[in-house]
Amino acid sequence: MEIRSIVEKIKGLDSGLMEKAQVRLDNLTKPKGSLGRLEELAKQIVGIKGNSSPKIEKKFIITMAGDHGVTDEKISAYPREVTYQMVYNFLRGGAAINVLARHVGARVIVVDVGVAYDIEDAIGGSNYSYFISKKIDYGTKNMAKGPAMTYEQATSSIEAGISIVEELVSEGCDIIGTGDMGIGNTTASSAIISVICNVDPSIVTGYGTGLDEKGLARKVEVIKRAISVNKPDRNDAIDVLAKVGGYEIGGIAGVILGAAANRIPVVIDGFISGAAALIAYSIAPHSKNFMIASHCSVERGHKVVLNWLGLKPLLDFDMRLGEGTGATLGISIVEASVKILNEMATFGEAGVSEKETPNLIQ
How many angstroms separate the CA atoms of 121 and 107, rounded? 23
Element of type H or E holding 172 = none
Q: Give the Cα separation of 31 and 17 in Å (integer).
A: 21
Q: Can you tell me the distance from the alpha carbon of 147 to that of 141, in angstroms, rounded to the nearest whole number? A: 7
Instruction: State how far Cα 216 lies from the chain centre.
Output: 25
Could you give the number of structural domains in the chain? 1
Amino acid at 292: I
Residue 287: which residues within 8 A CB-CB, separation 6 or more? 10, 256, 257, 260, 280, 281
- 323 as an active site residue: the answer is yes
Task: Give the Cα separation of 163 and 158 in Å (integer).
Answer: 9
Does residue 29 fall inside a structural domain? no
> In this predicted structure, what is the pLDDT of residue 57?
97
- The domain spanning residue 276 has which CATH number? 3.40.50.10210
Q: Is position 122 within any domain?
A: yes
Quote the pLDDT of residue 362: 43
Buried b (16+ CB within 10 A) or exposed e, 27-66: bbeeeeeebeebbebbbbbbbbbeeeebebeebbbbbbbb
Does a structural domain hold residue 31?
A: no
Q: What's the rounded Cα separation, in Å, for the pair 332 and 56?
A: 9
d(CA 40, CA 198) in angstroms, rounded, equals 31
Domain assignment present for residue 5? The answer is no
Identify the pLDDT of residue 355.
Answer: 74
Q: What does the alpha-carbon distance between residue 93 and residue 145 come to, in Å, rounded to a whole number?
A: 37
Is 45 part of a structural domain of the chain?
A: no
pLDDT tens for the chain, 362 residues: list them: 689 999 999 999 999 999 999 999 999 999 999 999 999 999 999 999 999 999 999 999 999 999 999 999 999 989 999 999 999 999 999 999 999 999 999 999 999 999 999 998 878 666 677 999 999 999 999 999 999 999 999 999 999 999 999 999 999 999 999 999 999 999 999 999 999 999 999 999 999 988 999 999 999 999 999 999 999 999 999 999 999 999 999 999 999 999 999 999 999 999 999 999 999 999 999 999 999 999 999 999 999 999 999 999 999 999 999 999 999 999 999 999 999 999 999 999 988 888 765 554 44
Phi, psi of 133 (to 5 degrees): -100, 120
- The DSSP bridge partners found for residue 176 are 60, 266
CA torsion through residues 319, 57, 309, 225, sign: positive
d(CA 104, CA 98) in angstroms, rounded, equals 10
Please report the sign of the dihedral spanned by the C-alpha atoms of residue 128, residue 131, residue 135, residue 141: negative
3-state SS class at 301: helix
Distance, CA of 257 to CA of 332 (rounded, Å):
22
- Phi and psi at residue 264, in whole multiples of 5°? -115, 125
Strand partners, 291: 266
Nearest-angstrom CA–CA distance, 233 and 282 = 12
Asked whether residue 49 is domain-assigned, the answer is: no
Structural domain including 188 reads: 56-335
Residues near 195 by beta carbon (within 8 Å), at least 6 away in sequence: 227, 232, 234, 240, 244
Q: What is the DSSP letter of 29?
A: S
Considering the candidates 159, 299, 323, 335, report the single residue annotated as catalytic.
323
Does 221 reside within a domain? Answer: yes
CA 233 to chain centre: 23
109 close to 61: Cβ distance less than 8 angstroms:
yes
Compute the residue count for the chain.
362
Residue 1 domain-assigned (yes or no): no
> Is 0.75 topped by the overall pTM?
yes
Strand intervals (E) in the chain: 59-66, 106-114, 131-133, 175-181, 266-268, 291-293
The pLDDT, as a whole number, for residue 283 is 98
pLDDT at residue 361, rounded to an integer: 44
Q: Report the amino acid identity of residue 317.
A: F
Q: Which residues contact 91 (CB under 8 A, 6 or more apart)?
A: 110, 123, 126, 128, 130, 131
Q: Which residues contact 339 (CB under 8 A, 6 or more apart)?
A: none
